[in-house]
A = this chain, B = another copy of it.
Amino acid sequence: MATHGGIDLGGTKIQTVIVDDDHEVLGSARRPTPTSGGPPDVAREIEAALREAAEQAGVEPASLAGVGVGSPGTIDGGNVTSARNLPDWEGSFPLASTLSDALGTPVRLGNDVQVATDAEFALGAGRPYNSLLGVFWGTGVGGGIVLDGKPWVGRGAAGEIGHIVVELDGARCTCGRRGCMEAYAGRSAMEAEARRQHEEGQKTDLFKLMEKHEKPRLTSGIWARAIERGDELAERLIDEAVDALGIAVASACNVLDPEAVIIGGGLGVRFGDPYAKRIYEAMMPHLFHDDHPPVMRVAELGDLGGALGAALLVA
């Protein structure tokens, strides 16, 4: 039986898995993504994380049938360009050949959100459906598309649901544009807005919780804790995020008409079913064919989804 490697390269962590032909996880490892240095340093850390998973699985990296990588930024063959969440990665870097040379096995790259969607389609919450929209609600909001059983990536840039416009001349997005859904629903946008309102005197426990739990930022867990204790600012910002998500998902479904919408990402998975239900309710008033809505499900593969999807690239 052949073994494959999968790597989920994120802005905060590198997750690796080794799987067999049945997608059983034989080994896994997780390391923080380097926050300084440049692409070669990130590549070295990826290599180390893959070697760690391989050791756990009892296989040599060179004996793997291949390794897939889900990466942010623009994927152009074996190169990754403008991966803005990674250190000093504005230009193009030959990640596939660098890793392939280091590990002694073929390496194939894919878009991080698309491979996570592919994983949910093949192995997770999307299995019963033939077309789906993956909505990954975390630092930003990414989207992946499967149509007629196959990934749809357009000319390489499809699925940017975080930048669907939800408000004319609306809030400034981290991308520089106005009114993008991510400007309301992305965790970084939510943190910036919470900080702004807190500095203006709005009461909130968000930043106390962040310090208490020694987090460098408002993680999904911090948001969840603040909501649990009824923090008003947190509730209001999450309400706005849910509304923006619902509107953008409705717009995307009005275009695509998929069978299912899968809600994943750090916030999506942490908040789970009750919030998927709220996003569904926020979607319905803007869904044109509301007599035949898509099914909405929470992603099932959790933290390993991205790495499992990356492994599918070489399955």
A positions within 8 Å CB-CB of B? 131, 143, 145, 147, 152-161, 163-168, 170, 175, 177-180, 243, 247-248, 250-252, 254-259, 285-286, 288-289, 292
User: Which residue of chain B lies nearest to A154 when distances are taken between CB atoms in the complex?
Assistant: B257
CB distance from A181 to the nearest CB of B (A): 9
Secondary structure type dominating chain A contacts: loop
Is there contact, CB below 8 Å, between B257 and A156? yes
Which of the residues B156, B252, B285 comes within 8 Å of A255, measured between beta carbons?
B252
Is there contact, CB below 8 Å, between A286 and B177? yes
Which of the residues B153, B165, B167, B178 comes within 8 Å of A257, measured between beta carbons?
B153
**Given contacts A166-B168, A177-B288, could you give 18 more A-B pairs where the C-beta distance is less than 8 Å?**
A145-B255, A147-B152, A152-B256, A154-B257, A154-B258, A158-B255, A158-B257, A159-B257, A164-B164, A165-B248, A167-B167, A167-B168, A168-B170, A177-B286, A178-B285, A248-B251, A251-B255, A256-B256
Residues in B whose Cβ lies below 8 Å from that of A147 = 147, 152
Residues in B whose Cβ lies below 8 Å from that of A255 = 143, 145, 158-161, 164, 251-252, 255-256
CB distance from A257 to the nearest CB of B (A): 2
Question: How many of these chains are in the complex?
Answer: 2
CB distance from A286 to the nearest CB of B (A): 5
Q: How far is the CA of A259 from the CA of B292 in the complex (A)?
A: 29
Residues in B whose Cβ lies below 8 Å from that of A243 = 168
Q: Provide 15 A-B residue pairs closer than 8 Å at the C-beta atoms, listed in order of the A residue.
A: A131-B155, A143-B255, A155-B258, A155-B292, A160-B289, A163-B286, A164-B251, A165-B247, A168-B170, A168-B247, A178-B285, A180-B286, A248-B251, A252-B255, A256-B256
Q: How far is the CA of A165 from the CA of B164 in the complex (A)?
A: 9
Which of the residues B154, B156, B165, B257 comes within 8 Å of A286, measured between beta carbons?
B165
Q: How far is the CA of A292 from the CA of B81 in the complex (A)?
A: 14
Using A155-B292, A177-B285, A292-B155 as known contacts, say yes or no to A254 and B161 having CB atoms under 8 A apart.
yes
Is there contact, CB below 8 Å, between A155 and B257? yes
Residues in B whose Cβ lies below 8 Å from that of A247 = 165, 168
